[in-house]
């Protein structure tokens, strides 16, 4: 472990021991890494007899409802005593959505994340962009605290890591990632059940949305850029929800000539959430940061407050220079 990180682990553990009321928050539009990380750390801190609460910053996608103790993530009213606020997988305060306001009430903020664009907004920052996932950092931190990882915690960490590594396929997957996964398997997780829930559980509505979206795929710059849109009308036609768009962006990136995949999700007529992925050489975190977003080099996002057509024009204009 790098020494700077070790010093932060030490401070974080000391702070955990000194705190009683601990809140752990998800980011908006939480993903498998975020939800799995929250649950694993929450369960671990409960073993230390802490008063731990897992804050819901947004709806939990149905994909993750199979996770043990998922009901622990919920809304809380009248929160006043926050000894320790732990933000997970959130590159900046804005990612915390409605729970951002709680930061000012917290005695101490612990920021644990693996985004290259993290702003180090905590009093203590365990930020390692070489970690495949926040789940990987959870494994290290829980071990550091000498808490034994049980099957439920292992299931949540495995889900977190698998989600953020594209099932152990992306460049961020290291030898250490596999070693951690091996240890989680030894603990006795039901790997098959996790994989079926994460990857082989698509509803017919989701399938219809996939077909409709791919049918309207647009290709630019000699097929190096693949772009698709999901509008509210399309969701209605398919009786689907925006969370059913999960997986579409990876499919676009997986098309042979495509280097950059772009998915424009219309949440409302002037709120377009953009997802971007790249395969080999384009830094999509940098592109998204020009629109106030961020993420990782190969997976990033931003929100554009324009119509979907205008958002598309802005993005294509922004990336055009990269493909000349």
User: Of 63-71, 104-112, 155-163, 296-304, which part binds ligand 5GP (CB under 6 A)?
Assistant: 296-304
Backbone angles phi, psi at 68, to 5 degrees: -60, 135
Smallest distance from the beta carbon of 293 to ligand 5GP, in angstroms? 4
Reference 118, options 11, 204, 8, 222; nearest CA is 8
63 binds ligand 5GP (CB under 6 A): no
CB-based contact 240:208 (threshold 8 Å): yes
293 binds ligand 5GP (CB under 6 A): yes
36 binds ligand 5GP (CB under 6 A): no
Which of residues 87, 106, 189, 300 is near ligand 5GP by CB under 6 A?
A: 300
Residue 28 or 153 with smaller CB distance to ligand 5GP: 28
Reference 53, options 69, 66, 68; nearest CA is 69
303 binds ligand 5GP (CB under 6 A): yes
Sign of the torsion angle spanned by Cα atoms 310, 311, 314, 317: negative
Which of residues 19, 37, 40, 91 is near ligand 5GP by CB under 6 A?
A: 91
Sign of the torsion angle spanned by Cα atoms 13, 15, 19, 25: negative
**Structure letter (DSSP) for residue 218:** E
Which of residues 92, 128, 140, 259 is near ligand 5GP by CB under 6 A?
A: 92
Cα dihedral 236→238→242→245 (10° resolution): -150
Q: Which spans of this chain sit near Mn ion (rule: CB under 5 A)? A: 33, 89, 134, 164
CB-based contact 302:265 (threshold 8 Å): no
CA distance 164 to 19: 30
Smallest distance from the beta carbon of 150 to ligand 5GP, in angstroms? 27
296 binds ligand 5GP (CB under 6 A): yes
CB-based contact 117:289 (threshold 8 Å): yes
135 binds ligand 5GP (CB under 6 A): no
Residue 164 or 246 with smaller CB distance to Mn ion: 164
278, β-bridge pairs: 260
CA distance 24 to 126: 14
Residue 82 or 276 with smaller CB distance to ligand 5GP: 276
| Helical packing angle, 151-164 and 175-187, nearest 10° | 150
Cβ-closest residue to Mn ion?
33
Residue 84 or 249 with smaller CB distance to ligand 5GP: 249
Q: Which of residues 104-123 bind ligand 5GP (CB under 6 A)?
A: 117
User: Of 38-46, 102-110, 217-225, 300-308, which part binds ligand 5GP (CB under 6 A)?
Assistant: 300-308
Reference 270, options 316, 207, 314; nearest CA is 314
Which of residues 97, 122, 226, 301 is near ligand 5GP by CB under 6 A?
A: 301
Which of residues 238, 275, 312, 319 is near ligand 5GP by CB under 6 A?
A: 275
Tell me which residues touch ligand 5GP (CB under 6 A). 29, 31, 91-92, 95, 117, 275, 293-296, 299-303
């Amino acid at each position: 472990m790098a020494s700077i990180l070790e010093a932060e682990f030490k401070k974080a553990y000391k702070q955990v021991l000194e705190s009683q009321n601990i809140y752990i928050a998800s980011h908006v539009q939480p993903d498998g890494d975020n939800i799995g990380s929250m649950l694993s750390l929450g369960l671990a801190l409960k073993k230390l007899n802490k008063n731990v609460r897992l804050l819901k910053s947004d709806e939990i996608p149905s994909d993750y409802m199979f996770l043990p103790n998922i009901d622990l993530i919920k809304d809380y009213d009248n929160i006043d005593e926050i000894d320790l606020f732990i933000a997970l997988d959130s590159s900046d305060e804005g990612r915390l959505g409605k729970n951002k306001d709680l930061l000012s009430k917290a005695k101490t903020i612990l920021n644990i994340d693996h985004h290259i664009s993290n702003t180090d907004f905590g009093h203590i920052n365990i930020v390692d962009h070489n970690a495949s996932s926040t789940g990987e950092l959870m494994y290290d931190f829980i071990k550091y605290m000498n808490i034994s990882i049980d099957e439920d915690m292992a299931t949540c960490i495995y889900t977190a890591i698998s989600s953020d590594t594209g099932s152990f396929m992306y460049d961020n997957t290291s030898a250490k990632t596999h070693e951690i996964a091996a240890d989680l398997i030894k603990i006795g997780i039901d790997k098959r059940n996790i994989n079926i829930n994460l990857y082989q559980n698509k509803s017919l509505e989701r399938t219809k949305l996939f077909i409709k979206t791919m049918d309207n795929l647009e290709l630019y710059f000699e097929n190096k850029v693949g772009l698709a849109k999901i509008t509210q009308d399309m969701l209605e036609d398919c009786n689907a929800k925006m969370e059913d768009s999960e997986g579409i962006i990876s499919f676009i990136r997986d098309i042979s000539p495509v280097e950059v995949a772009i998915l424009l999700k219309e949440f409302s007529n002037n709120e377009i959430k953009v997802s971007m992925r790249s395969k080999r050489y384009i830094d999509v975190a940098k592109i998204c940061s020009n629109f106030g977003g961020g993420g990782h080099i190969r997976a990033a996002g931003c929100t554009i407050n324009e119509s979907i057509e205008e958002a598309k024009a802005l993005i294509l204009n922004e990336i055009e220079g990269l493909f000349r």
